[in-house]
Amino acid sequence: MSELIPVLDHVVINVADQLDEASALFRRLGFQLSERGHHSLGSSNHLAVFNQNYLELLGWENDRGTLRQDLWQSPRGLSGLVWKTDDADAVWQHLQQTDLAGDPPAAFFRPVTLPDGRQQEARFRTTRLRADRVPGGRSFFCQHLTPEAVWQPAWQQHANGVTDIDRFVIVADRPDDAATVYGQLFSAQRLQPISGGLRLQAGVAEIQFITPNQAQRDGVALPTHYDGSPRMTALGLKTRSREAVRTQLKRNDIAFRERDGEIEVGPLAGLETTLFFHQ
């Protein structure tokens, strides 16, 4: 594998033992969430599935919470940046060659009930970047062995009109350093300058690495006790209708503000993540 192509597969919001509260909040925000899933490795989740990518609320239930202690070392909130691949083993070899290899490929599954009532297993293989190269979260590649168990048209319809995640924001005192691992992973030429940092195009999404000052100018709230190291802090969400977003937020009494053609929500309580909705 001579070069990897960056394409965002999904993002992970670590909600720890607050799955009930987090899923209720995201439904109030206008997202259709999947039924609670339970991974064979022990974690539990809800998904908001979009056209090209999805958002995962990842946590645990009390009788399963000790099974994946490695996951809960990440900060609460936005803490997972996940890339698409159709060959986790080839990615693993590439990561070894570039000194970025973390855990070897892992296979796992979760039972799913499809919209027509059929039962299926959603099966995956993942391979992770070295943990010490991704402070403040995790980054890994996900191979979907059963994509039809995730991307179902019936699950891609959201009351807020969201169609895709198109921005993922990482704040760091030194954004160049935060982006270095992804330049090494994909090619430094893919990192392009923007105001206050760098950007990496990843399919329909743009990964941004920006300074705290730029974050404040952009309306991105800094995490509590921010220490200057890279933190995953905000998502941009493309919607068919800002009016649909307003309707959901007003109906469910969620505070927001509008500026520069975007609707800004957050930071979400307990999750230190800001959401930006735009057409």
CATH of the domain at 100: 3.10.180.10
- Which of 155, 171, 200 is at the close of a domain? 155
Looking at the structure, do residues 124 and 29 belong to the same domain, yes or no? yes
**What does the pLDDT read at residue 70?**
62
Give residue 224's identity as a one-letter amino acid code: T
**What does the pLDDT read at residue 66?**
55
- Which of 155, 190, 209 is at the close of a domain? 155
Tell me whether residue 1 is in a domain: no
The contacts of residue 96 (CB under 8 Å, 6+ apart) are none
Low-confidence ranges of the chain (pLDDT < 70): 1-2, 64-73
Take residue 118 and report the two structure tokens written for it. 């059929």
Looking at the structure, do residues 94 and 226 belong to the same domain, yes or no? no
**What does the pLDDT read at residue 54?**
98
Looking at the structure of the chain, the number of domains it has is 2
**What does the pLDDT read at residue 3?**
81
**What does the pLDDT read at residue 116?**
94
Looking at the structure, do residues 118 and 61 belong to the same domain, yes or no? yes
Looking at the structure, do residues 181 and 80 belong to the same domain, yes or no? no
Tell me whether residue 265 is in a domain: yes
Tell me whether residue 149 is in a domain: yes
Looking at the structure, do residues 210 and 130 belong to the same domain, yes or no? no
State the residue range of the domain holding 202: 162-278
The contacts of residue 60 (CB under 8 Å, 6+ apart) are 16, 17, 19, 42, 43, 44, 67, 68, 72
Matching residue, tokens 């202690």: 69
**What does the pLDDT read at residue 250?**
98
Between CA 45 and CA 62 the distance in angstroms is 13
**What does the pLDDT read at residue 69?**
58
**What does the pLDDT read at residue 103?**
85
**What does the pLDDT read at residue 28?**
98
Tell me whether residue 254 is in a domain: yes
Take residue 34 and report the two structure tokens written for it. 């999947």
Looking at the structure, do residues 30 and 118 belong to the same domain, yes or no? yes
- Contact between 269 and 21 under an 8 Å Cβ cutoff? The reply is no
Handedness of CA 260, 266, 272, 277 (dihedral sign): negative
Looking at the structure, do residues 64 and 108 belong to the same domain, yes or no? yes
- Which of 155, 171, 194 is at the close of a domain? 155
User: What is the CB neighbour count within 10 angstroms for residue 44?
Assistant: 18
Between CA 275 and CA 252 the distance in angstroms is 16
Take residue 249 and report the two structure tokens written for it. 């937020």
Looking at the structure, do residues 78 and 111 belong to the same domain, yes or no? yes
Tell me whether residue 135 is in a domain: yes
Between CA 271 and CA 252 the distance in angstroms is 18
Looking at the structure, do residues 241 and 195 belong to the same domain, yes or no? yes
